[in-house]
Structure 1
Amino acid sequence: MPVSFNHTIIAAKDRQESARFFRELLELPEAPSWGPFTNIQLDDGTLLQFAEPPVEIQMQHYALLIDDDLFDRVYARLRERGVTHWADPQMRRPGEINDEHGGRGVYFKDPAGHAIELITRPYL
């Protein structure tokens, strides 16, 4: 079997809120959840498991590859909801997207403060 990414646990202040944020933004259906996790499942089968840790949450970076049509819809939702976003990871170009690596990209923070990057073309 080739190596593939199966799941990760993402720290959340409110696991339900974080899972709902990603489901609505990325047009994903609800996924079965259990124990301390509220899950969403990406189209490739990868599980994102949101949990509320008993410690202060440290910002992490998560980058998701999406197609151009979904990018257009997601970007429209970000703007409609007034989500602060940037064209760059240094957050120096607010309210913009980038066109690097032959595609488009945008950075924003999720409800727990994690840095989220959406891109339409892989870097490699």
Structure 2
Amino acid sequence: MAIELDHILVPSRDRLASAKLLAHLLGVPWSPTGIGPFAPVYVNDGLTFDFDQWSEPFPLIHYCFRVGEDEFDAILQRIRASGIAYRSAVHGPVDHLIDTAHGGRIVYWNEPDGHQWEMLTVSYARAQ
């Protein structure tokens, strides 16, 4: 069997609000209860993000989603409709632009706990 990532823990100040927001932006289901103390976001059939309530300080983590062109448009529309600031550079200022320098489209945004989310249509991390 190939190795696959099954779930990942996401530390948060408010696990329910954070899980609900990510699920809304991605257009995927979530639950206020899961196994243990987690609020799961069901990213796809094989990956769950388990939001866990932590007190500060906790590490700020970068998460990246590779999506299709149609999903990119739909998610970006939900980001815009939610009034979330986004940018075209990983450490850049909020510019409400889309990076197209890597053969696809990329945007970055931060959620209330400070984690950085990235959405791209073409992976620059590995050869195509």
Quote how far apart the aligned CAs of 1:61 are: 0.4
Distance in 2 (alpha carbons) for counterparts of 1:119 and 1:104 = 5
Note the alpha carbon deviations across 1:50-109, whole angstroms, 9 max, x for none. Answer: 001234122110011111111111111212222111100012361111113211010000
Structure 1 residue runs of 4 or more that deviate by more than 6 Å after TM superposition: none
Partner in structure 1 of residue 95 of structure 2: 94
Partner in structure 2 of residue 121 of structure 1: 122
Report the TM-score, using the length of structure 1 for normalisation. 0.91
Q: Unaligned stretches of 5+ in structure 1? A: none
Q: Unaligned stretches of 5+ in structure 2? A: none
Contact kept in structure 1, 2:98 and 2:106, CA below 8 Å: yes
Change (3 A) 1:38 1:54: same
Partner in structure 2 of residue 15 of structure 1: 15
3-state SS of paired residue (2:118): strand
Partner in structure 2 of residue 6 of structure 1: 6
Q: AA paired with 1:14? A: D
Aligned residues: 124
Change (3 A) 1:93 1:25: closer
3-state SS of paired residue (2:57): coil
Partner in structure 2 of residue 81 of structure 1: 82
Q: How does 1:34-73 map to 2 (within 5 A)?
A: 34-73=35-74
Report the TM-score, using the length of structure 2 for normalisation. 0.88
Note the alpha carbon deviations across 1:11-62, whole angstroms, 9 max, x for none. Answer: 0110001110111111102356122100012224111000012341221100
Contact kept in structure 2, 1:8 and 1:47, CA below 8 Å: yes
Quote how far apart the aligned CAs of 1:119 are: 0.4
Contact kept in structure 2, 1:17 and 1:111, CA below 8 Å: no
